Structure 1
Amino acid sequence: MSHPFEAVIRAAGAVIDPPFARNLYAPVLEQSPQGGTVERDLSYGSHARHKLDVYRPLGEAPQDGFPVLIFLHGGGFLRGDKAERENFGRYFSRNGVLSIVPNYRLAPEVQWPAGAQDASSVFAWARENIARHGGNPAHIVIAGESAGAAHVAAATLIQRFQPSGGVHPAGVALVSGVYNAGLELRAREQFGIATPDPRNEAYFGADLSRHAAMSTVDLIDAAPLPTFISYAELDPPQMQVQSGELFARLVTRHGYHPYIHVVRGHNHLTQVYAVNTGDDSLSAALLKFVRDLDS
């Protein structure tokens, strides 16, 4: 099913162009539904970026509390802010899902595995505190896009990055993430990645010989849990390849049964800016994944 901006997005191609995506959707997002109430800048740690926003649905919570979605923004490990993903908080809260949208520490100030540690800390905060906000601590899905998906994947699929007592989310959702730093290093020419790579070298470090050892796909040791993997039809090749690789490894080596979803007619960024605009190309599938965990 097509969406209003599909033709212009297809004409732009498989680009990662923040101003293009932001400017395309800004007028629509300004008019988008607001959903429930928001509590901003709650602290989950000691760093200035250890802040999160909680979007609570309107009305009385169910007996066990609202289902919960944590969503980590992207930004190539170097940038990004929770304010840019307010549309996720608005969309999911108005559809009965309490939503947490955090910031996390960025490269080059911090390097691997800081993002995974921050994702784990957000989950630990939610497990400890979300009941008082009306959420169900037994029904927390942790999700992210792009760099945020990389951090969530490491935090949930690698046991040593899980918080005390384990992560044990109800589910994990990974949108157009990067999961194999060693592959991106070896296939820079094929993927059109610059040398030096400002993104990966800032986060995984200047010692390129260590990048492969930081690849989530080679470190998976967590027990299977419900997993949603998606990528955009017009994602750059490295996101499509790594989503497929992660799916294949989870299925063939680790006993997972992940859901895989292709976001038609969108590129890496337009798919996330489209959330809460009436274009449900990504959000409908993600919402269904969160809700189906009750069944």
Structure 2
Amino acid sequence: MRLLRYGLPAAVAGLLLLLVAGEYAVARPSRRIRDVAYVPATDSAYRVGRQLLDVYTPRQRGPAPLPVVVFIHGGSWNSGSKNLYSFIGRRLAKQGVVAVVISYRLAPQVRVPQMADDCARAVVWTTQHVAAYGGDPQRVFVMGHSAGGGLAALLATKNELFTRWGLAHNPIRGAILDDPAGLDMLDYLQKMEYPGDEQYLVPFGNDPAVWRTTSAMYSVSASSPTFLLFVGGDTYPSIQNSSARFRERLQAVGQQPSYTVLPGKKHIPMVLQLYWQHNIIYQQLLKMVGAKAG
């Protein structure tokens, strides 16, 4: 679980930029509203350029409100930006979904609890404002890859992230986890099995109690929303193992998550495949959220 694994190597970032550059030719039926602030500049938690989101909507839509997917990027909790993932927003919009792609604060400036708080505030903003963009605030789903998958799982299972911001209940209807990292950092950081694992003490700190509270494994309940889990057949053993145990934990509380292993897929290709509209992740996602593919 080294930085090279969960971060964004220069070659991968370059490939993502190429995908972004080429997206317009194949995703024209969408509209992007960029750099919307979900934390006001007067807030004590505000950091310039980080607490922003982009909204993607179909250019043509009917009168009925559309399902909403909030996408959380990965990057080892210390890198990444919404701007690298516009191809995901456009693919979702093209297929009848209002997509909200977010950035959030990163380490070393903040730790994971503050990142989770940013992501929760982005979801709160979405529930309050997405109707103006044609989205249904009663059908909000979260999606994330790598570290973003771990944050998405935490939002879906930890209701207090929303009650602290005045919501009576968790607004998330379901979560799509794409090769998620960080589902059980208590176990991971106690073992320290891989070279360089000490770097994760920067975003997670030294307190095992925090490792536990920032791990979705320990906040799963029978009332948690529906999960779709996708794991690369050739991804890192830590992701394979924690995802399998997360599935078992959900099953233990009466959940029946969808769990799909994609043969031959490594960690980074698990998100790059989202450039193509008809891949299996979109197919299952559209069924979950109740959208009609374009």
What's the TM-score, normalizing by structure 1?
0.84
Does the alignment pair 1:42 with 2:36?
yes
Counterpart for residue 53 of structure 1:
54
Matches within 5 A, 1:82-101: 82-101=82-101
The residue aligned with 1:227 is 227
Q: 1:102, 1:136 → 2: CA distance?
A: 18
Distance 1:288 1:267, change over 3 A: farther
* Cross-structure match for 1:256: 255
CA distance 1:222–1:129, shift in 2 (3 Å): farther
Output the CA distance in 1 between the equivalents of 2:37 and 2:20. Answer: 27
- The aligned residue for residue 185 of structure 1 is 189
Q: Which residue of 2 aligns with 1:282?
A: 281
Residues 178-210 of structure 1: per-residue CA shift (max 9 Å, x gap): 211122123332xx34142x1x21111034575
Contact 1:142 1:172 (C-alpha < 8 Å) held by counterparts: yes
Deviation at 1:277, TM superposition (A): 3.4
Matches of residues 197-208 of structure 1 in structure 2 within 5 Å?
198=199, 200-207=200-207
Unaligned runs of 5+ in 2: 41-45
Q: For residue 183 of structure 1, what is the amino acid of its counterpart?
A: D
Quick one: which of 161, 166, 170 aligns to 2:169? 166
CA contact (8 A) 1:123 1:167 kept: no
Report the AA paired with residue 115 of structure 1.
M
User: 2:290 is matched with which residue?
Assistant: 291
Q: Is the 8 A contact 1:263 1:282 kept in 2?
A: no
Q: CA RMSD in A?
A: 2.4
Quote how far apart the aligned CAs of 1:250 are.
0.9
**What is the distance in 2 between the residues matched to 1:206 and 1:271?**
30
Deviation at 1:145, TM superposition (A): 1.2
Q: Report the residue type matching 1:268 in the other structure.
A: H
What are the superposed Cα offsets for residues 263-282 of structure 1, whole Å, 9 maximum, x if unpaired?
A: 33321111212222356143
> Does the 8 Å CA contact 2:156/2:225 hold for their aligned counterparts?
no
Instruction: Quote the offset at 1:31 in angstroms.
Output: 3.4
SS in 2 for 1:227: strand
Per-residue deviation, residues 212-236 of structure 1 (Å, max 9, x unmatched): 4543212334713221112111211
Match of 2:108 in 1: 108
Give, in whole Å, the separation in 1 of the partners of 2:93 and 2:118.
Answer: 23
Task: Give 1:29 shift.
Answer: 5.3
Aligned AA (2:34): R
Q: For 2:11 and 2:278, how far apart are their aligned partners in 1?
A: 17
Q: Which amino acid aligns with 1:237?
A: P
Seen in structure 2, the aligned counterparts of structure 1 residues 249 and 92 have a Cα distance that, compared at 3 Å, is: same
CA contact (8 A) 2:162 2:169 kept: yes
Instruction: Give the direction of change, closer, same or farther, for the CA distance of 1:93–1:195 in structure 2 (3 Å limit).
Output: closer
Look up the equivalent residue of 1:291 and give its one-letter code.
G
The separation in 1 between residues aligned to 2:209 and 2:161, in whole angstroms, is: 22
| 3-state secondary structure, aligned to 1:143 | strand
Contact 1:71 1:144 in 2 (8 A): yes
Deviations 1:95-133 (A, max 9, x none): 111100010111121113112212211111111100011
Identity %: 25
How far apart, CA to CA, are the structure 1 residues paired with 2:125 and 2:173?
15
Q: Is this contact kept in 2: 1:71–1:143, CA < 8 A?
A: yes
Tell me the CA shift for residue 30 of structure 1: 3.8
Query: 2:265 matched to which residue of 1?
Result: 266
Query: How many aligned residue pairs are there?
Result: 274
1-side partners of 2:5 and 2:118: how far apart? 28
Query: Is the partner of 2:263 in helix, strand or coil?
Result: strand
